[in-house]
Chain A
Amino acid sequence: MKLPESILRPVKLIRGGIHLEHQKNTAECETLVMPAPKTVYIPLSQHIGAPANPVVKKGDTVFVGTLIGEAGGFVSAPVHSSVSGTVTDIKDLTIGNGTLQKYIIIESDGKMEADPELKPFSVESFSDLAEAAKQCGLVGLGGAGFPTHVKLSPSKDVKIDTLVINAAECEPYITSDYRECVEGLNDVIEGVYLIKQKLGIEKVVIGVENNKPRAIELLMQVAADHRDNDDNVKIMKLPSKYPQGAEKVIIYSATGRKLPAGKLPSDVGCIVMNVTSVATLYRFITTGMPLVAKRITVDGTAVAEPKNLIAPIGTPIKEILSFVGVDVQNADRILMGGPMMGNPVVSDESVLEKRNNAILVMYDAKPQPQTACIRCGRCADTCPMSLYPAMVDTALRLGDKENLNSLNINYCMECGCCSYVCPAKRPLTQVMRTAKAEIRRQK
């Protein structure tokens, strides 16, 4: 084996951001496979964009990987059955975030039989790759849930020179991407080379935060093994500073380019993909098995024995938690994702979706009283986008539309740093969301 080439340093570092306790308690927990649940509830909208349209009906027999919902538009993604069994119902439920969503309910026969029609996907050309991502039902697995095939179909007149693989995993607790790097190392690296080759991208930067030295080491070794063919896949060691894994932040670190608000990464010559998305795409191409199960970290202050596990999409959270041995009765909240950007669910009847990478069961910390803003400026100091959340707070409260419009609220990526640092405990991130909605309403 050749010696791995020296590691890349970030080209530029964004200002602001915060240091969080990493809480990567599950880093060395090998992924367990969750047994087939009795019933899965598969949401037709697990992505940004139009919901999928069901292509099965009540009583149909399905297998693991059978298409049950086709993409409802260009910005949309198909969904597949995650168990083998029978479709028992297709109906609207409020079990997710409290709003009505369409679900396909499948009763499992317990056999987890793969669809016999699944076969490897052959990728010949540039456009085949996007088609593969689409048929895989792949969405951004870092949490955003943006349909991957849209990302992989950049318009012909933009030149993409850098593929950024996001393995930063900057949220506390979550280790599912890290486990992908360790357990799915081959899929990751093969996937990276495949995408690089098919899209004809010169350079690949795999960004990993420096709190995951083992992932960095493993990735460097496999990259070194491939150096005979291609020497342009580099590992970049990123500082462990939240939100290092945010798209704009990691592009800036990897290339020094600033992605303005409202622009796509391709506008600055980049495609950014989550490391698990890459591995999932590669597995689909080699086996034909679409995205039907997801690796997640189960952790949080109310979890005694945190674990990593792979569960079928649509598995009720209740069953996942009872498999891990978590009692929800005393807990205050369940978050899908990390503590900074994760979405809370109304009850443990919610189900696992494609874009989820963690389930955190939390006790609430002792609440501290909210006071008036003391203008300490910490929100502005930590904002990676150089915004002024406290000023937005004031402008919104006073109904000062002119000021609200001048504060560049559309740059906000809702990373949560402002709320986190605010000593007056003002809900600044929520204020930013409200302000965005207010500006949309005015237009």
Chain B
Amino acid sequence: MSKLLKVTSSPHIRHVDSTRGIMFDVIVALLPAAIWGCILFGLRAVIMLAVTIVTAVASEFVWNIVLKKEQTIGDLSAVLTGLLLGMNLSSQTPFWIAAIGSVVAIIVVKQMFGGLGFNFANPAMTARIVLLVSFAGQMSSYVSPIEWWSSGAVDAIATATPLAKESSYTLRELFFGMHSGAIGETSAFLLIIGGLYLMLRRVIKPIIPVAFIGTVAIASLIAGTDLKLALFGGGLMLGAIFMATDYVTTPTTNLGKLIFGVGCGLITFVIRYFGALPEGVSYAILLMNILTPHINRLTLSKPFGAEEVAKS
């Protein structure tokens, strides 16, 4: 009897890209802005990111153990969720609140809906919203970035984000991130660099970020609000480039992505302009996340040659 060989369904070769590789690429793309946030906001920011990442990974680890599921922390998606959540928080957020955020993101938003690939809303962003409505006071305490540098004081003067009050920041300060805000959202420049890296690596397509940011820009121009604040003053860049491009919770079709991006942009503008809240990016993405399955269904393309069948 000669040697028995492996027999599997074709194809017999695979591309090198993996789930883990994609998650790793997104983490790499976030790092410049995260590191910049740590420089701006100091040790508290470093600890904040560590707390959210470790808690996120630990939550997923424990969940898998308790439910006797295959361990999935190796796919790095929990690391990414933790990092994104941390970058969306002010460095003044109490650490225990940040940790709760990670648990909510992983356990409630992700695992309870079936784990990776099955959650309908972006875990990090939904967790941020949960924290925002649960701990409104502690969550909206921001610090000016330079304070701790000049005075060395850790308990820096609380301030508002540029969007929250009439501010005198220059375009340059806003674009490069010399202003208050969440740890990872301040430097539009570094976030755009990260986004370009992801597009270059073909991890994301430019459709959603361009549609999202473009819509906010156009709406802001029409309404006559401060364009530089609208684009660079809040969480728009982080949201549009990294949260609104999450595969799981956004449409897969190109037309769907366009609709999603424009929808996010409009809702963001409406909340900022008409609402009582200074910031609307998270809510906009969450609302569009909910519409994603419908957008997908409505924008499916016809298979090759189907129109010929219809004609005849």
Contact = CB atoms under 8 A, between A and B. Distances in A.
Closest 3 CB pairs between A and B?
A416-B11, A377-B252, A260-B305
Name the residue among B9, B72, B75, B115 with the largest chain A CB count within 10 angstroms.
Answer: B9
Given A371-B72, A376-B247, A344 B7 contact: yes
A158 interface: no
Given A329-B3, A332-B5, A408-B303, A429 B11 contact: yes
Please classify how large the interface on chain A is, using the bins under 10, 10 to 19, 20 to 34, 35 or more. Answer: 35 or more
24 contacts: A18-B15, A252-B304, A259-B305, A328-B2, A339-B10, A339-B12, A345-B5, A346-B4, A348-B2, A369-B20, A369-B74, A371-B19, A371-B117, A374-B77, A377-B247, A377-B252, A380-B253, A386-B304, A411-B305, A416-B10, A423-B15, A423-B17, A424-B19, A425-B14
A18 B114 CA distance: 31
Contacts of B118: 372
A437 interface: no
B303 A374 contact: no
Interface of A: 14, 18, 20, 97-98, 172, 248, 252, 258-261, 263, 318, 328-329, 331-335, 339-349, 360, 362, 364-365, 368-369, 371-377, 380, 384-388, 390, 408, 411, 414, 416, 419-425, 427, 429-430, 433
Contacts of B304: 14, 248, 252, 258, 384-386, 411
A98 B2 contact: no
A260 B304 CA distance: 7
Given A408-B303, A425-B18, A420 B4 contact: no
Given A259-B305, A339-B12, A385-B303, 4 more contacts: A248-B305, A263-B305, A340-B12, A371-B72
Nearest to B292: A375
Contacts of B248: 374-375
Given A344-B5, A345-B5, A423 B117 contact: no
A254 B244 CA distance: 40
Contact of A372 (B9, B10, B116, B300): B116
Contacts of B22: 374, 376, 423
Nearest to A330: B3
A362 B115 CA distance: 35
A341 to B, nearest CB: 5
B114 to A, nearest CB: 8
Contacts of A345: 5, 7
A188 B141 CA distance: 78
Contact of A387 (B9, B72, B303): B303
Contacts of A419: 10-11, 14
Contact of A261 (B2, B13, B303): B303
B276 interface: no
Contacts of A348: 2-3, 5
Given A346-B5, A374-B22, A424-B19, A386 B301 contact: yes
